[in-house]
Amino acid sequence: MIVPEFWAESRIQKRDSERQITVRRFGWSNTSVEEAQRHADDRVRDALDRIVRGETLPRRELKVRYNGADGLPIREEVIERFGEHVVSRNSYGARCLNTPDVFFADVDFQATEPDSCTTFLISMGFSILVAIAVGLQLESLAKGILVLPIAATAIHLLLHWIHRISITLRGGHEPIALRRFDHFTRTHPEWHLRIYRTPNGFRVLAMHATFDPRSSQVDAAFKSLGVDRTYAVMCQKQNCFRARLTAKPWRIGIVDHLKPRPGVWPIKQTQIPVRHAWVEKYEATAANYAACRFVKAIGAIHRVSRQVTGVCEFHDRVCRANDDIELA
């Protein structure tokens, strides 16, 4: 996990008889802008050398948000550090806890919806069969093709309707998830989990040990707990776990975006006042909301890791997880 304090960019050009190559790379540091610049210079020279030798590398790195960064350091403003854990402000303005070894997991109810790619393939497969059957029945291939989009739409809607009926018959998203958590601790009796309710699902915190985010153990636990796929991928790419600590702005009536757009760090000095004004308004409003609410502890609740305890206390306090206030 890397969440740098300082960023810089370096640009280098090389011309030969056939072409001109221009390469840009970022550098970062927790010490100074100068060190970040030296890092950028080293990275850009290395990238140029590899491109000249024939490697296919991007000529430029883009400033991207956390969920679009392919393993690059997290490009967010650092709000606070304690030990190896970092609180940053994400691209839409909320504070987030980034930790290299404390197991957090998001279980989003929306993520349990049928995979769009899978439903599309199933819908198309069945609709093609329907179109062929209609074409044979009417002895007209053209009429069978005309049926294709109607059949695909109907089958797609039917699959979603069947899924929703299945969720309802099993008691709804929340009981299904809680049963899954209970089953996990029965089959993993050494695990101690704290369960939190979020606006659209649950958050799970493992209390008994620390973990490597890229380990097979974490990957297996994510799959068993039903963790959101995007969250799991980003944990693996960024080599850290992550938990949002404060409300999402649009849930608390703040409709204007974090300034300046697109919210990635760093920003120009001239843009800092407008950013500070937005943050001040957001923090004052977000103070009245909880990011999650503690539900219960399950599993081997007698097993508690000292390294995790402090992070848990900090998380619960900042999230207001034990306060009876609205989730956002």
At 111-129, the pLDDT tens digits run 555 555 666 666 666 677 7
At 183-239, the pLDDT tens digits run 999 999 999 999 999 999 999 999 999 999 999 999 999 999 999 888 999 999 889
At 157-166, the pLDDT tens digits run 766 666 566 6
**Residue 232, domain member (yes or no):** yes
**Residue 327, domain member (yes or no):** no
Same domain, 52 and 125: no
**Residue 92, domain member (yes or no):** yes
Same domain, 90 and 132: no
Same domain, 217 and 153: no
Q: What per-residue confidence (pLDDT) applies to 123?
A: 62
**Residue 72, domain member (yes or no):** no
Same domain, 233 and 85: yes
**Residue 326, domain member (yes or no):** no
Q: What are the beta bridge partners of residue 78? A: 88
Same domain, 98 and 125: no
**Number of structural domains in the chain:** 3
Could you tell me the residue range of the domain that residue 140 belongs to? Answer: 114-169
